[in-house]
Amino acid sequence: MANSQVGILLGDYLMANIAQEYGWNYVPPNRPHPQALTELLIIGRLRSTEAAIQRYWELKQADSPQRMVDKNTLLYLGYALLFEKKVKDAIEVMKLCVQENPKYWNAYDSLAELYLHSGDKERAIENYGKSIELNPDNQNGIRMLRKLKEQD
């Protein structure tokens, strides 16, 4: 029992390592692994956000099953930077997330949240609007957009 949302990924990791140890012919499932995000977070902390973004591009190009990046990799990296109080870096990463995933409503919703956190209400409204356009059921976006417009 892993007691975690990434428990299945932990199982994949364990199976791959056991298979390697015993020489089994094992092909791990093709699903995202937390290793890519962990690697990006470490690089961001030890070097810089720019270095983490560079590594993101390398991982994306390599397309490795063990370090797979997906549409949420940059999203999670952006929030991790926000929690470290690196708001400008978080916004840059989230802008890249939107650029890389222009039809992903949650990228716009998250970018809006970061803009709001930084005090840029105009860009927050713009991005909440785009997230709702892409996902009309986005209740958070609807609620936040209504709240921001009421403040005018």
- Which pTM does this prediction carry? 0.76
Q: What angle do CA 17, 71, 40 make, to 5 degrees?
A: 55
- Tell me if 130 is assigned to some domain: yes
56-108 tens-digit pLDDT: 999 888 877 667 788 889 999 999 899 989 999 999 999 999 999 999 999 99
Domain assignment present for residue 82? The answer is: yes
Domain presence at residue 19: no
Q: Which CATH number belongs to the domain containing residue 141 in this structure? A: 1.25.40.10
pLDDT, one tens digit per residue, over 134-148 is: 999 999 999 999 999
Residue 5: the pLDDT is 47
Q: Is residue 74 part of a domain?
A: yes
**End-to-end Cα distance, the chain:** 50
Identify whether 3 is part of a domain. no
The number of folded domains in the chain is: 1
Distance between CA atoms of residues 60 and 52, nearest Å: 12
Full domain range(s) for residue 122: 32-150
Closest by alpha carbon to 109, among 71, 151, 152? 71
23 found inside a domain: no
Q: Is residue 10, in this structure, part of any structural domain at all? A: no
Question: Which residue bears the tokens 């932990």?
Answer: 10
In the prediction, which pLDDT does 9 show? 58
For 22-39, the pLDDT digits (tens) are 999 877 666 555 678 888
In a domain? residue 106 = yes
Per-residue pLDDT tens digits for 69-81: 888 899 999 998 9
Q: Which letter does DSSP use for residue 66 in this model?
A: G
CB atoms within 10 A of CB 80: 19
Cα–Cα distance measured from residue 131 to residue 141, given in angstroms and rounded to the nearest whole number: 7
